[in-house]
Amino acid sequence: MGAGQVSDHLVKTEYIMNSKYLPGILAMAAVVVASNILVQVLFGNWLTWGAFTYPLAFLITDIMNRVYGVQAARRVVFAGFVVGVVCSLIGTQIMGAYGPLVTMRIALASGLAFLTAQLLDVAIFDRLRDRGWWQAPVLSSVIGSSVDTALFFSVAFSASLAFLEPGNDVSWAGEVVPVLGGGPLAPLWVSLAIADWGVKLAIAVAALIPFRIITRKIMAQMV
């Protein structure tokens, strides 16, 4: 095979692989965009509607990891990260009743939490992929979700990190209140984080059903 043929073969192979990854990339982009919009809409006292859509990012990553492998999953994560950055930058330019819809501190917290947690999820899933079919998606999602929540809420609202954006007043998040309305006293953002974490854990378990169905269907088509 000549150099030109080798080059054409590599280009075709890359095109085929990217076509296979496209559904995962589009799904991740949709989840990120939807979550950036729905995080503006409250659900009860401690959550936003975005809390219910964002955990689906872990489901998408795990499906890609199971079907196409760790490199495919990472590609989808980076695509989602780019979409998230673009959404955040747009949000910083849109003014709401209390200033920009997305502050630079929120944008930083969101991007850092997403990229760290998703790549951690990918690595843990890959390490556990040869165990029981449910262990890799559950453990990787639970650990990734926990890191995501801890990073986002601490970076976005902790008073100790106010230097990240001195002009952004997030003192409201530091108001001391009973945790989830009935527990010990703690800053408000702690209650928000716990509620968000609880939703992520519940969805991580519930997502086992679509994970099993979707991966089986795709892998059967590949045979």
Q: Is the pLDDT of residue 167 over 50?
A: yes
- Residue partners of 158: CB distance under 8 A and separation at least 6: 189
pTM of the model: 0.88
pLDDT at residue 174, rounded to an integer = 93
Is the C-alpha dihedral spanning 200, 205, 209, 213 positive or negative? Answer: positive
Q: Is the pLDDT of residue 100 over 80?
A: no
**Which residue shows structure tokens 């009860």?**
44
Query: For 95-101, what is the mean pLDDT?
Result: 70
CA distances from 26 to 23, 32, 89, 96, 176 (A): 5, 10, 20, 28, 41
pLDDT one-digit tens code per residue, 202-219: 999 999 999 999 999 999
Share of the chain above pLDDT 90, in %: 73
Domain that holds residue 196: 3-222
Alpha helices in 93-134 (DSSP H): 104-128
Q: What is the mean pLDDT of the chain?
A: 89
Query: For 170-177, what is the mean pLDDT?
Result: 92
pLDDT one-digit tens code per residue, 56-75: 999 999 999 999 999 999 99
How many domains are there within the chain? Answer: 1
pLDDT at residue 18, rounded to an integer = 60
β-bridge pairing 99-100 and 176-178 = unpaired
CATH number at residue 89: 1.10.1760
Q: Is the pLDDT of residue 97 over 90?
A: no
Q: Is the pLDDT of residue 42 over 60?
A: yes
Q: Is the pLDDT of residue 93 over 90?
A: no
pLDDT one-digit tens code per residue, 9-32: 433 444 445 678 999 999 999 999
120: Cα separation from own chain's centroid: 11
Q: Is the pLDDT of residue 138 over 50?
A: yes
Q: How far apart are CA 134 and CA 208, in angstroms?
A: 7
Ramachandran assignment for 44, one of left (phi > 0), alpha (psi -120 to 50 degrees), beta (any other): left
